[in-house]
A and B are shown apart, each in its own frame.
Chain A
Amino acid sequence: RKEVEQDPGPFNVPEGATVAFNCTYSNSASQSFFWYRQDCRKEPKLLMSVYSSGNEDGRFTAQLNRASQYISLLIRDSKLSDSATYLCVVNGDNAGNMLTFGGGTRLMVKP
């Protein structure tokens, strides 16, 4: 079983739609969770950290469910510019020196 699993998609949605991605992780001791965004043939960039209480940044909301070991990302009012691959990232060791990346979920927003 992969340590961090994501549905690779693609998720094809119209502009203005709400879309949600889930990610499951296997290490119950993980403490740090992130969503990164990666545009085609570009480097990943931090989208948002995921806190235990959940957090929101504009149209983006991230949630953490420790009991079921998954994190989610909700995007409201999708824009064409949201088209990208979204990477779920979890800390991979207790010392905090390693991160484990999921394979990514591809989102395509259509006009």
Chain B
Amino acid sequence: NAGVTQTPKFQVLKTGQSMTLQCAQDMNHEYMSWYRQDPGMGLRLIHYSVGAGITDQGEVPNGYNVSRSTTEDFPLRLLSAAPSQTSVYFCASSYQRISSYEQYFGPGTRLTVT
């Protein structure tokens, strides 16, 4: 199993550009999440999904969209990039309820917005 994969690993955007961060898992996990990690602030939840076709907002959803058309894929879209979105983005998946099961994280995408 590849586990959780994320592309790209690194990305530089200009303010106002849009892009999609890709996330895929091959463990048949129901739950998937997107986090951002900023220095000293810990990981913060952006959006999550409890199954295909079902998504919900996390702690910091503004400026981001998600969709979940398949169990395997959970892309994160930045609508109009801003410097405040410079961060490391992690995708994670878990078998079921996030609070009860181990979360498996992807390797992360390092995004810089200039």
A81 to B106 CA separation, bound complex (whole angstroms): 21
Q: Which of A8, A96, A98 contacts B40 (CB 8 A)?
A: A8
Interface size, B (range): 20 to 34
Q: Is the CB of B105 within 8 A of A43?
A: yes
The distance in angstroms between the C-alpha atoms of A97 and B98, with both chains bound, is 5
Q: State whether B100 touches A44 (Cβ < 8 A).
A: no
Let me know if A108 is at the binding interface, CB within 8 A: no
The interface-forming segment of B14-22, B41-49, B67-75, B76-84 is: B41-49
Given the known interface contacts A43-B90, A101-B42, the answer about A96 and B106 at a Cβ–Cβ threshold of 8 Å is no
**In-complex Cβ contact of B106 among A43, A97, A99, A102 (8 A):** A43
**Taking the complex as formed, is A4 at the interface, i.e. its CB lies under 8 A from any CB of chain B?**
yes
The verdict on A55 contacting chain B, using a C-beta distance below 8 Å, is: no
Interface centre among B40, B44, B98, B106 (most CB of A within 10 A): B98
Q: Give B105's nearest chain A residue, CB to CB.
A: A43
Beta-carbon nearest neighbor of B50 in chain A = A97
Interfacial chain B residues near A1, Cβ < 8 Å? none
Residues of B within 8 A of A46 (CB): 102-103
Closest residue on chain A to residue B6 by CB atoms: A43
Per the bound structure, the CA–CA distance linking A104 and B40 in Å amounts to 8
- For B43, give the chain A residue with the smallest CB separation: A101
Chain B residue nearest to A36 (CB atoms) is B103
Q: If A43-B106, A44-B90 touch, does A97 touch B99 (CB 8 Å cutoff)?
A: yes
- A32 interface hit (Cβ, 8 Å): yes
In the assembled complex, A87 has its CB within 8 A of some CB on chain B: yes
Task: Tell me if B98 and A98 are in contact (CB < 8 A).
Answer: yes
Contacts of B48 in A (CB 8 A): 97-98
Whether A31 lies near B108 (C-beta < 8 A) is no
CB contact between A44 and one of B43, B45, B59 (< 8 Å): that residue: B43
B100 A103 Cβ-Cβ under 8 A: no
Q: Are B42 and A4 in contact (CB under 8 A)?
A: yes
A23 CB to nearest B CB, Å:
11
**Interfacial residues of chain A within 1-38, with CB under 8 A of chain B in the complex:** 4, 8, 31-32
